[in-house]
Amino acid sequence: MKIYTRTGDEGETALFGGRRVGKGSARLEAYGTVDELNSQLGLARASAVHEEIHTLIEELQNERFVLGADLASPMDVKNGKVTRVEERHVRQLETRIDRLEEKLDPIRFFILPGGSETAARLHVCRTVCRRAERLLVHLSTLEEINAFDLQYINRLSDFLFVLARYANHTAGQKDLQWRQE
């Protein structure tokens, strides 16, 4: 099987269900940014020396495929092959957040991105995730999307913030405090 199909040479691509859309559409921007997030997560995972963090990031990368497939599938596509983000995915992120926060000191100041390499990379992931969230919100004003997608992406950025703090914690680094001049 060849990697190239030539079907996108005119600036369009097919969504799940067969509908063709322009590669600059709001839907493509949204799930393309989710794909970018997955690549950034790969960089963070490659830098992770703590096994738990490595495993958590790998789990997130697998979940990104669920979110990407959901976004690539308009809501009117009803075949059994479409994987959708569900409430359980949102709750799972909340459980992960709660579990990691138990291991961290309470936040008493604004935190600057940085510290260990893994934490810094996770902060980049967090900002890409926030951009994806903005694009999902925009997409939702144009067409129907799965409501759990918005909840999930919002919790994901929170989780990435906590995971970055946890990466610093496991590396023996303190969170970097914002100092107002």
pLDDT digits (tens, 9 = 90+) for 137-180: 999 999 999 999 999 999 999 999 999 999 999 999 888 788 87
Encode pLDDT of 62-109 as tens digits.
988 899 888 988 888 776 677 899 999 999 999 999 999 999 988 888
H or E element in which residue 13 lies: strand 12-14
pLDDT digits (tens, 9 = 90+) for 115-145: 999 999 999 999 999 999 999 999 999 999 9
Phi-psi region of 102 (alpha: psi -120 to 50; beta: other; left: phi over 0): alpha
**Predicted confidence (pLDDT) at residue 50 exceeds the cutoff of 80:** yes
> According to the model, what pLDDT value does residue 3 have?
63
CA neighbor of 41 nearest in space, from 165, 111, 127, 102: 127
